[in-house]
A and B are shown apart, each in its own frame.
Chain A
Amino acid sequence: MFAENNNLELLERHFAGKLTEEEQAIFDKSMKTDADFKELVGYFEDFMVGLEDFGDKAVLQELKSLEKTIQQEEKMEGLQNLWKGFFDKADYTLEQLAALFRPVVTYEPLLAHAHRGNDIPLIVTEKEWDMAVEDMVLTFSEPISSDFSLAIENNQRQVVWTSIIPEASIDFTLTLQDTNIQAPGRYYFKLSNDKQTLLQEFFVHKDWMPKP
């Protein structure tokens, strides 16, 4: 029994290396002559390892919960920044919105649904992405064989954001907060490897696009 004869304190001090010479001698003797004590020592050793493992898992769990909290905080912060950037639909005139959503004429024939790169295994959907509504998820049919570059252009053909999708990725998620896009409109992403470039358009607040 742990509670008997101060066994527990003795074991704790033994494992902390704090026994006096005299106590250590008694401990060693008990290990040789007292089977119950020896069994108790075995239990205690296993308890310490099991407790350490339990503790590690508890701390990791705490860190994972903290990570969730931080991600929620960042999302909220991102949304606040987003609204700061966008203000309100009422801040744009009809002409301004029309200009922001105007397509790049020279890009039209090159768009992904019409032209697919053989070396870029992107699963292209017919869907019209609206990043104000949902994150953009690029999915590949197989892990990509080299780093891909991803560039976002506005409809003035100005690069507003770039990134690298690392080799072996199978998908890539992009949120509006990540891109730092500050205005509604029509945008394009260019996905390139060293051989080919794939072009696709997407929108930010497509619901603000003036009807023709």
Chain B
Amino acid sequence: MDYAIQLEKNKTQWIEAVKSGDSKALELVYRAYRKPFVNWLTQQTSCNQDMALDVFQESVLALYKNAKSGRLDDLKSGIKTYLFAIGKRVWLYRNRQHKVKTSAMEIEDLPVKELIVNPSNLDSMSERQQLVSQLLSKMRPSCRSILFSFYYENLRLKEVAEKLNYKSVNVVKAMKGRCMEALKKMVYQHIKTA
């Protein structure tokens, strides 16, 4: 199966799949462009295979976040072109302190506004923000899933209920409130005892 052809042909459906929290969408884009991306980056730069895979994974994450937030809704180029443009920026961002030859990286610079290329930046996060990120992994899986689906994947309550097999939207809504309260308590207690 040629994932890339399938993906470019059904660009809009792919974006919709990302928005609806379909995890297969992420796998599809990963499998479609993994080899061409790694080959391109290792040939155009001094990047080795492992580093190229790291850059690729970060670029796929950025692509996913851009799709999820609606920034790709009017995408004129192909997904590949867009992904490689992100990849170029991620690579340059990672090497901003070194002199990197960029002239050889032949990829179209897209006029994309607000392109997310470095989603997580621990340096710029406050202590409490970092604490929230850490404590989330210690929460009950049911809470974690609801908060992740609603706030990170931007799913509606109805979609969260369907995805996580809850009987009604009201159950999810009530649980979401309780989970946020529990998280607040955990953060508060952690700060108090620290």
Contacts and interface: CB of A to CB of B under 8 A. Distances in A.
Contacts of A54: 132-133, 136-137, 148, 152
Which bucket holds chain B's interface residue count? 35 or more
Secondary structure of the B side of the interface?
helix
Given A8-B177, A43-B187, A70-B31, A50 B133 contact: yes
A64 B57 CA distance: 8
B53 interface: yes
Given A8-B177, A54-B152, A169-B48, A47 B30 contact: no
Contacts, number: 103
A63 to B, nearest CB: 5
A34 interface: no
A60 B57 CA distance: 7
Interface in B93-130: 119-120, 122, 125-126, 128-130
Contacts of A2: 177, 180-181, 184
A167 interface: yes
Residue in B34, B131, B177 whose Cβ sees the most chain A Cβ within 10 Å: B177
A64 B148 CA distance: 19
A159 interface: no
A53 B57 CA distance: 15
Given A47-B183, A67-B53, A169-B48, A53 B133 contact: yes
Contact of B131 (A48, A50, A59, A70): A50
B37 interface: no
Interface of B: 23, 26-27, 30-31, 34, 42, 46, 48, 53, 57-58, 60-61, 64-65, 119-120, 122, 125-126, 128-133, 135-137, 147-148, 151-153, 176-178, 180-181, 183-184, 187
Interface of A: 1-3, 8, 43, 46-60, 62-64, 66-67, 70, 166-169
